[in-house]
Amino acid sequence: MPWTLVTGAARGLGAATALHLAQKGRSVVIHFNTRQREAELVAECCRAFGVDAQTIQGDFSTSSSTEEFVEKYLKAFSDTQNVVYNVGNYAVKSALETSTEEWNVLFQTNLHAALQVCKGLLPSIISEKGSIVMIGSAGLTRQVADTYSPAYTITKMGLHALMKSLAKELAQHHVRVNMVSPGHLENSVDIPADFSKLPFGRPGTLEEVARVVDFFLDPSNGYITGQNVEVAGAVRL
């Protein structure tokens, strides 16, 4: 089984996605930046499902460190079929309160690195007729003013546009590119204390998002590309 790379998979949604894909029989590469022990535990749990699972460290905060990751990754895992780009740093600050350095790092990590990683792994993805899934955020197409976490929101809006662009460009190679956009999840840092404020009366689960990622990776859904599915329970509609 060729590899599926899940970035930011040492914990949270990335870990849940890697575990779900392993349960479905996929060999997974668990990317982490600083949380090596957590990543190794996720890989160990994945291997319990009878698949291969490995870890790899990578810093996406600069263009050069991202390129170093791609080079290191290709030496270790040349036959990659799928990429799940889950990395997404978060900053709860208005645009004017966000420093230039913070702004640039968020754009590099959340948006620019996604293109670098996908381009670097593209020859293998094309050869395997694989798929790319990017993790977005609910409400990206609403175009409303955001003073709560604008840097994060704008990077995800850019990622949405990149997803659609890549989907059209790669269709000729039968490579599909889609997005899954969560709302408030069970582990969200800014989840309301009162769940009654959420339309469904509860947050989404990590597993609910992971199942949609798996849907997009499934070759039997091979004519779906350029799409964004919100797993958000009517949040930000």
- 3-state secondary structure at position 191: coil
All residues at 6 or more sequence positions from 194 whose CB lies less than 8 Å from its CB, including other chains:
none
Burial status of residue 152 (CB atoms within 10 A of its CB: 0-12, 13-18, 19 or more): buried
What is the residue-averaged pLDDT of the chain? 95
What domains can you pick out in the chain, each with its CATH number? 3-231 (3.40.50.720)
The reply to whether the predicted model has a pTM over 0.75 is: yes
pLDDT tens-place string over residues 49-101: 999 999 999 999 999 999 999 999 999 998 999 999 999 888 888 999 999 99
pLDDT tens-place string over residues 188-204: 877 888 888 888 989 99
pLDDT value for 141: 84
* Contact between 135 and 88 (Cβ < 8 Å): yes
179-205 as b/e: b if 16+ CB within 10 A: bbbbbbbeeeeebeeeeeebeeeebbe
Q: What is the rounded distance in angstroms from the CA atom of residue 32 to the CA atom of residue 11?
A: 9
Q: Is pLDDT above 80 for 143? A: no
All residues at 6 or more sequence positions from 220 whose CB lies less than 8 Å from its CB, including other chains:
none
Q: Is pLDDT above 80 for 43? A: yes
